[in-house]
Amino acid sequence: MIFLVGCTIIILLTVVAIVRSKKPLKTLCKEAKYDLVYNYIGSRAILQDIIMRGSNKIELSLKSGKNAIITGGTRGIGLEVIRMLLKSDINVIIGCRNVKQGELLLQNFRNDGIKSGNIDVINLDISVMDSVRNFAKTVKEKYSTINYLINNAGIMFGPYIETRDGYESQFSTNYLGHFLLTHLTLPLLKAAGTKEEKSRIVNVSSCAHIAGEINFDDINNRHGYIAGAAYAQSKMAQILFTKYLDKLLQIEEANVQVHAVHPGIVNTDLFNGTNLKKCMPLIPSLIFKSPLKGAVPIIYACLSPYLEGKGGTYIVNCKVLATSNATDSEVLQEELFNFTNKLLNITAFGSGD
Ligand SMILES: NC(=O)c1ccc[n+]([C@@H]2O[C@H](COP(=O)([O-])OP(=O)(O)OC[C@H]3O[C@@H](n4cnc5c(N)ncnc54)[C@H](OP(=O)(O)O)[C@@H]3O)[C@@H](O)[C@H]2O)c1
C-alpha cells in the first residue's frame, strides 16, 4: 500500500514537473536520455580514477625561461595547474576575467613557499571573441615565444545563454574561444618549439565527449536546447580539433604538438547547480578527485618527456587512452575545422591574425 502511494506521488510529481517545464515531450525524453548517459559515463570515470590512481602522477622538473598561457585558473583545477607550473619555474600568463583575483594569486603562492616562476595576469573573457583578440594582441606585444598553451577555462550545463557574438555559451567558452586563441598564438608556439622539445597545446576536454554529436545545422542547439548535449558537443569539438590540428602541424613539420586531457571527475565549482551537488552535496568531496589530482594529467600533457613526439593523443590519469569512435573520423575532424574557420572568418589558420 505504502509502495503504491509512493509510486503514485512520484508519477504525479513527474507529470507536474513536465507540465510546468512547458518543454515538448521530445525534449524531455532527450533530456532524460542525457541524464542516464551522464550517470553512466560519470560513474565509469570515477571508477577509472580510482583504478588508475597509481598512474596519475608526474615528477616536476625545472623549465626555467619557458612561458605558459592558461585560460581561467583563478580557481578550480587551473589554480593547481598554475601552482605546478610555478614550481617548475615557468612564467605563467593567466587569461582570466577577474584580473585583481589573478594578481592576488602570486602573493598567495609566495606565502605558500613557492619562490620560483612568475605570473602575468591579462584580462580575458574566452567566450567573447573581441576579448580573445585583445588578449592575444597584448600577449604578442609582451612575448615572442610561448611554450605551452593550456586551454582550460570551461563551463558546464546551465540555461541557454547566447554570448555577445551570438553563440551558445558552452560552445563559445569551451571550444570556439580556444580555437581562436590557438589560431592567434600559434606563431608564438611555433617560435618556441624545437625538434627535441616541441611546444604543446593542451585542450582540457572531458570524458563527456563520448556523448557528443556535432550539430552543424544548429550549432547553438537552439532548438530543443539540452544543456548536457551542448556540453558534450563542446568537449567533443575540442577532441576533434586536437586530432586534426596535430595532424596539420605534423604535415607542416612544425615543432608544436597538441593533446587533449580528461582531468578526471574533480570536486570543483563546475558541479555547482547540478542535481548531484544539490541533492547529495557531500558526495563530490568524498569520491571525486581533488583539484590537485585533476591538475596532474594536465601538467603531464604539458611537461612529460614521455609524450615528446606523441601529439594528437588523449590523456587520462597520465596515460594515453582512446577517444570515442566518432572523434576518430578524419572527415568529421576536417568538417568541423573548416566550419569553425568559417564562423570566425579565419582564412589561414595559424597565421596569427
Ligand atoms: N571538474 C571536473 O570534474 C571536470 C571534468 C572534466 C573536464 N573538466 C574541465 O576542466 C576545466 C576546468 O574546470 P574546473 O573543474 O576547474 O571548473 P571551475 O572550478 O568551475 O573553473 C572554471 C574556470 O574557468 C574559468 N572561466 C569560465 N568561463 C570563462 C570565461 N568566459 N572566460 C574566462 N574564464 C572563464 C573560470 O573563471 P571565473 O572565475 O572568471 O568564472 C574558472 O577559472 C573545464 O574546461 C572543464 O570542462 C572538469
Q: CA-to-CA distance for 349 and 187, rounded, in angstroms?
A: 10
pLDDT of 182: 98
Is 278 a domain residue? yes
Is 328 a domain residue? yes
Question: Does the C-beta of 49 come closer than 6 Å to ligand 1?
Answer: no
Is 13 a domain residue? no
Question: Does the C-beta of 238 come closer than 6 Å to ligand 1?
Answer: no
Domain range for residue 190? 25-343
Q: CA-to-CA distance for 145 and 90, rounded, in angstroms?
A: 13
In whole numbers, what is the pLDDT of the chain averaged over residues? 94
Q: How many domains is the chain built from?
A: 1
Residue 305, all three cell numbers: 618527456
Question: Does the C-beta of 204 come closer than 6 Å to ligand 1?
Answer: yes
Is 84 a domain residue? yes
pLDDT of 28: 85
Task: Express each pLDDT in 44-86 by its tens digit.
Answer: 999 999 999 999 999 999 999 999 999 999 999 999 999 999 9
pLDDT band for position 277 (cuts 50, 70, 90): confident
Is 263 a domain residue? yes
Residue 284, all three cell numbers: 563530490
Task: Express each pLDDT in 44-55 by its tens digit.
Answer: 999 999 999 999
pLDDT band for position 30 (cuts 50, 70, 90): confident
Pairing of the two strands 319-321 and 148-151:
unpaired
Question: Does the C-beta of 226 come closer than 6 Å to ligand 1?
Answer: no
Grid cell 607542416 is found at 252
Task: Express each pLDDT in 295-353 by its tens digit.
Answer: 999 999 999 999 999 999 999 999 999 999 999 999 999 999 999 999 999 999 999 88
Q: Show Cβ contacts of residue 295 under 8 Å, excluding neighbours closer than 6 positions.
A: 77, 78, 80, 81, 83, 84, 263
Q: Element (H or E) spanning 67, and its range?
A: strand 67-71
CB atoms within 10 A of CB 181: 25
Grid cell 530543443 is found at 224
Is 350 a domain residue? no
Q: Catalytic residue, from 38, 167, 175, 231: name it.
A: 231
Residue 172, all three cell numbers: 563559445
Q: CA-to-CA distance for 107 and 92, rounded, in angstroms?
A: 14
Is 348 a domain residue? no
pLDDT of 25: 82
pLDDT band for position 274 (cuts 50, 70, 90): confident
CA of 47 to the centre of ligand 1 (A): 22
If one residue of 268, 288, 290 were mutated to test the ligand 1 pocket, choosing by the most ligand atoms within 8 A of its CB, it would be: 268
Residue 14 has pLDDT above 90, yes or no: no
Residue 238 has pLDDT above 70, yes or no: yes
Q: Is 209 exposed, middle or buried (0-12, 13-18, 19+ CB in 10 A)?
A: buried
pLDDT band for position 17 (cuts 50, 70, 90): low
Contact between 120 and 92 under an 8 Å Cβ cutoff? The reply is yes
Q: What is the mean pLDDT of residues 254-265?
A: 98
Give the CATH number of the domain where residue 229 resides.
Answer: 3.40.50.720
Q: What is the mean pLDDT of residues 265-278?
A: 91
pLDDT of 12: 60
Q: Is 6 exposed, middle or buried (0-12, 13-18, 19+ CB in 10 A)?
A: exposed
Q: CA-to-CA distance for 108 and 317, rounded, in angstroms?
A: 27
Kindly report which listed range (28-32, 129-133, 149-153) carries the lowest average pLDDT score.
28-32
Ligand 1 atom closest to Cα of 173? Answer: 31
DSSP single-letter state for residue 164 = T
Pairing of the two strands 256-262 and 148-151:
unpaired
Does the active-site annotation cover 231? yes
pTM of the model: 0.94
Is 51 a domain residue? yes
* DSSP-derived 3-state class of residue 148: strand
